[in-house]
Amino acid sequence: MPCCSASVCVQNLDALQRIQYRPQVFPVPVIRRRSFLTGRPMRWAFALQIIVTVLAASLSAWFAGLHGGVSAGLGGLVSLLAGLAYAGVASVYPPVSPMAALLGLLRAEAVKIVVFVTAIWLVLKFYGALLPLAFFATFAVTVLVFSAAALFRDH
């Protein structure tokens, strides 16, 4: 037994033939490949690191003289270079899955630690007039400021 009369099926067929076929486009989330360096949280983290470094270098120069200011500036510079290395490595590997994103961030963290150790070693080896208190205090504060990037949203 047919589901409908013949005249109704012919009318429906005519209506379907008049409609041009257009494939249904489903909204697929588009992942824009933006550099990790240009995201708002990273910009804020780098800006805060620079501000803290300049303030610490100014205060150290005021209280301990030129070598105090240079030591504090080097402490902030070590942290800033490590943060740039972290952001650069994190932006190279686009996350295609949650596991790949986690591995990319772990790889970036490993590079950051290598840059920390290398830069601190270079400063301790080649800058003889280093004031350790100014250097390590500024370094510690700027490392903490870099972790404040998580507080800023990208929207």
**Range of 64-68, 99-103, 150-154 with top mean pLDDT:** 64-68
* Listed residue (44, 53, 42, 104) closest to 78, CA to CA: 53
Domain ranges of the chain: 34-150
In degrees rounded to 5, what are phi and psi of residue 46? Answer: -65, -40
The stretches of the chain forming alpha helices (DSSP H) are 6-18, 40-64, 66-92, 98-126, 132-147
The predicted-structure confidence for 92-146, as pLDDT tens digits, reads as follows 777 778 888 888 889 989 999 999 999 999 999 999 999 999 999 999 999 998 8
The predicted-structure confidence for 24-46, as pLDDT tens digits, reads as follows 554 444 444 555 556 777 888 88
pTM listed for this prediction: 0.71
- 74: which 2 tokens? 């080097």
pLDDT of residue 92: 79
| CA dihedral sign, ordered 130, 135, 136, 137 | positive
Q: How does residue 78 score in pLDDT terms, banded at 50, 70 and 90?
A: very high
- Residues 142 and 75: beta-carbon distance below 8 Å: yes
pLDDT of residue 28: 44
* Listed residue (129, 38, 46) closest to 54, CA to CA: 46
Query: Going by C-beta distance under 8 Å and a sequence separation of 6 or more, which residues neighbour residue 128?
Result: none
- 76: which 2 tokens? 């902030």
**Between vectors from CA 36 to CA 74 and to CA 136, what angle results, nearest 5°?**
20
pLDDT of residue 3: 56
**pLDDT greater than 90 at residue 18:** no
Q: How does residue 73 score in pLDDT terms, banded at 50, 70 and 90?
A: very high
Least-confidence region, from 1-10, 42-51, 103-112:
1-10
